[in-house]
C-alpha cells in the first residue's frame, strides 16, 4: 500500500487528510462551542503528519476558513489547503451557485480569509443545475491561468461529468461521498486511478455510522485490535492508490485514531470480507 500520492504534477502528500468542516457547528453551520479546542485539533493534525486540510467557504459559512488561518498561518511549505466554492448557506440550507461571477468572488474571498496568494486546490463544491457545468469549470480555469488557483478539483460529480470537464480544464482531483458501506462512486474511483487524478473521499466512515458497525467490519476490527472506523479508513487506503480519505472530527482522540488507521494492513481475504458490506 502506498503512503503518499501526488496531486497534479508536484503536490506530494500523505494519504490521510483532514476534513476541517466538523470544527464548526452542527450541519457545518455557525460557530463551534469551543473555538480554542477547534484550533488545537488543526494544529495537532499537522503534528501527526497530515498535509491535506480540506475546507469550504460554505462551512460556517466562512468560519472554517478563518479557523484554519488563525490556527495554521503561516502555513508550513508542505501543507495543502484545499477549499471549495459553489454553495451558499441561506438560513443553514445548501443552495448551489455555480455562476462564473459568483465563483470568482468566492475564490477571491477565500484567498483573503485563508491569507493565501494562491489556493493549491480549489474545488467546485457541486454542479449547479441552473448553470452549465462547463461555464462553472471554465471560470475556475480562468482563475487558474491568472495564478489564483494552482489546481482545479471537482466535487459531487459522476464519470461522465469528469470526462467532459477534463476537456475544459485540467482536473487534479475529485471529491465524492465514498466509504466501504456507500460505494456509488466506485466507477469514479476507478476513472480517477486510471487518469492519475486524486480522489478525496468525504464521509469516509459514513458520517460516523460505520464507527458503530457490526458484522464483517467489527470482526476485522477485533482481529486488528482496532475500531470499526479505523478499519473503514484502512479499507479506503487499500481500495485504490488514488484515494485520500478526509475524515473530520472535533475530537483529539478521534483524530489520533484516524491517523493511526493508515498503519493498518489488510489482507486480500479481509478486503473480500469487507466488500460484502
Longest CA–CA span in the chain (Å) reads 53
What are phi and psi for residue 151, nearest 5 degrees?
A: -135, 150
What are phi and psi for residue 243, nearest 5 degrees?
A: -90, 135
Does 102 qualify as catalytic in the annotation? no
Provide the strand spans (E) within the chain.
4-7, 11-14, 18-19, 52-54, 80-85, 87-88, 95-96, 119-124, 149-155, 171-177, 198-202, 243-245
Burial class (CB in 10 A: 0-12, 13-18, 19+), 74: exposed
Rounded-to-integer distance, Cα 225 and Cα 219, Å: 10
Taking a C-beta distance cutoff of 8 angstroms, is the pair 135, 100 a contact?
Answer: yes
In the set 29, 59, 102, 151, the catalytic residue is 59
Positions annotated as catalytic residues are 59
Amino acid at each position: 500500500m502506498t503512503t503518499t500520492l501526488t496531486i497534479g504534477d508536484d503536490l506530494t502528500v500523505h494519504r490521510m487528510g483532514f476534513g476541517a468542516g466538523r470544527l464548526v457547528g452542527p450541519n457545518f453551520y455557525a460557530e463551534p462551542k469551543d473555538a480554542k479546542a477547534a484550533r488545537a485539533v488543526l494544529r495537532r493534525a499537522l503534528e501527526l503528519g497530515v498535509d491535506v486540510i480540506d475546507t469550504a467557504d460554505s462551512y460556517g459559512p466562512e468560519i472554517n476558513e478563518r479557523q484554519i488561518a488563525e490556527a495554521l498561518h503561516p502555513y508550513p511549505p508542505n501543507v495543502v489547503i484545499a477549499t471549495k466554492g459553489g454553495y451558499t448557506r441561506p438560513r443553514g440550507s445548501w443552495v448551489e451557485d455555480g455562476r462564473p461571477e459568483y465563483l470568482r468572488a468566492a475564490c477571491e474571498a477565500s484567498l483573503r480569509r485563508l491569507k493565501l496568494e494562491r489556493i493549491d486546490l480549489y474545488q467546485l463544491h457541486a454542479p449547479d443545475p441552473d448553470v452549465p457545468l462547463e461555464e462553472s469549470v471554465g471560470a475556475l480555469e480562468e482563475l487558474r491561468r491568472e495564478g489564483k488557483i494552482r489546481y482545479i478539483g471537482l466535487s459531487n460529480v459522476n464519470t461522465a461529468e469528469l470526462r467532459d470537464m477534463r476537456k475544459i480544464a485540467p482536473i487534479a482531483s475529485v471529491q465524492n461521498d465514498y466509504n466501504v458501506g456507500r460505494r456509488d462512486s466506485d466507477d469514479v474511483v476507478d476513472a480517477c486511478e486510471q487518469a492519475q487524478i486524486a480522489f478525496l473521499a468525504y464521509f469516509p466512515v459514513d458520517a460516523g455510522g460505520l464507527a458503530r458497525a457490526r458484522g464483517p467490519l467489527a470482526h476485522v476490527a477485533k482481529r486488528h485490535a482496532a475500531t470499526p472506523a479505523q478499519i473503514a479508513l484502512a479499507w479506503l487506503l487499500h481500495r485504490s492508490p488514488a484515494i485520500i480519505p478526509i475524515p473530520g472530527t472535533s475530537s483529539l482522540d478521534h483524530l489520533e485514531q484516524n491517523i493511526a488507521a493508515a498503519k493498518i494492513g489488510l489482507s486480500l481475504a479481509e478486503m473480500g470480507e469487507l466488500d460484502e458490506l
